[in-house]
Amino acid sequence: MDKLAAEEFCVITDNNGEWKRGFMIPTSSRNAAETELLAIFHGLEWAWKRGLRRLEVQCDSEDAINWIRGVTTTNDPMLNYVDKCKRLLTKQWDVRLLHVLREKNMAADAMTKEARAYMGTFGDIQIPPTSVVHRIEEDCIGRTWQRWSIERNS
């Protein structure tokens, strides 16, 4: 079976929605929750190294958040990253982990689409792509998008 390449994306803004930094890192994980966990780890590490001491992490993977909180467990390869996240969270800083619906996290979704052109390369993005700026503003004001579901009668 072919391994699918994926990317980890992190969008870092301040409490006013102003862009601080973004980054993407290639990964071989094919599981969305694992990819989100890796993004959380790299985002926490990045923020700590740059002196950010108050942080709100919004993630649309409830599994990844629950692994870090210890509510549920994951497989052995990911336990290493869960432990790394937990160690980072014990440092002297204020970090809130929040699960948000994908429809509330459109900036990260836009970054995912934008970064397909850069597949396989590390990217430290200092200026937000123009396609992402509008989504950041919408996330900041709390705009959400309609979630569609189809019910089938059996």
- b/e map 130-140, b = 16+ CB within 10 Å: eebeebbebbe
pLDDT digits (tens, 9 = 90+) for 99-131: 887 666 666 667 666 666 555 555 677 777 777
**Geometric angle at alpha carbon 67, from 61 and 69, rounded to 5°:** 105
Domains of the chain (ranges, CATH numbers): 6-141 (3.30.420.10)
- Residue 118 or residue 51, greater confidence: 51
Computed on alpha carbons and rounded to an integer, the radius of gyration of the chain in Å comes to 16
The pTM (predicted TM-score) of the whole model is 0.74
**Geometric angle at alpha carbon 145, from 5 and 54, rounded to 5°:** 70
pLDDT at 151 (0 to 100)? 52
Percentage of the chain beyond pLDDT 70 is: 68
Structure tokens at 135: 């989504």
Q: Hey, CA dihedral for 11, 129, 105, 54, is it positive or negative? A: positive
CA separation for the pair 43, 10 (Å, rounded) = 6
Spatial CA neighbour of 13 closest among 80, 118, 110, 120: 110
pLDDT digits (tens, 9 = 90+) for 66-103: 999 988 877 777 889 999 999 999 999 999 888 887 66
